[in-house]
C-alpha cells in the first residue's frame, strides 16, 4: 500500500477482514493514523470497530480519496 510513494493514506476501505470479522467490517471506510514504523513494515494503524487503534496488514485495505463533506462527517464520528 503506497509503498512506491511512501505516503500513508488518511482513509481506506477494508477489502479483507478474514481472521478479524469482529474488528473489521468488509467494505467499510476506516481512518488511518500516522505511524512511520507500521508503514515501514507494510502495516497500517487503523481505528477499528472497537474504537481503538490497532495495526493491520496494509493489503487488507485500499486507499481512497474522501470528499471534504464526507471527511468532516467521518472526523466528527471518531471524536469523543
Query: What pLDDT is recorded for position 23?
Result: 95
Query: What pLDDT is recorded for position 5?
Result: 46
In a domain, 38, yes or no: yes
In a domain, 6, yes or no: no
Query: What pLDDT is recorded for position 75?
Result: 74
Residues of the chain below pLDDT 50:
1-5, 80
Domain that holds residue 36: 11-78
pTM of the model: 0.78
In a domain, 2, yes or no: no
Query: What pLDDT is recorded for position 9?
Result: 76
Helices (H) then strands (E): counts for the chain: 2, 5
Query: What pLDDT is recorded for position 12?
Result: 95
Residues 12 and 62 sit within 8 Å (Cβ to Cβ):
yes
Phi, psi of 25 (to 5 degrees): -100, 130
In a domain, 62, yes or no: yes
In a domain, 41, yes or no: yes
Helix segments in the chain, DSSP class H: 36-40, 68-78
In a domain, 1, yes or no: no
In a domain, 36, yes or no: yes
In a domain, 3, yes or no: no
Tally the domains of the chain.
1
Amino acid at each position: 500500500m503506497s509503498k512506491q510513494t511512501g505516503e500513508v493514506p488518511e482513509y481506506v476501505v477494508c477489502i479483507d477482514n478474514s481472521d478479524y470479522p469482529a474488528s473489521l467490517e468488509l467494505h467499510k471506510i476506516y481512518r488511518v493514523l500516522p505511524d512511520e514504523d507500521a508503514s515501514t513494515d507494510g502495516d497500517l494503524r487503523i481505528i477499528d470497530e472497537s474504537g481503538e487503534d490497532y495495526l493491520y496488514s496494509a493489503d487488507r485495505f485500499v486507499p481512497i480519496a474522501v470528499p471534504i463533506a464526507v471527511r468532516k462527517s467521518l472526523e466528527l464520528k471518531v471524536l469523543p
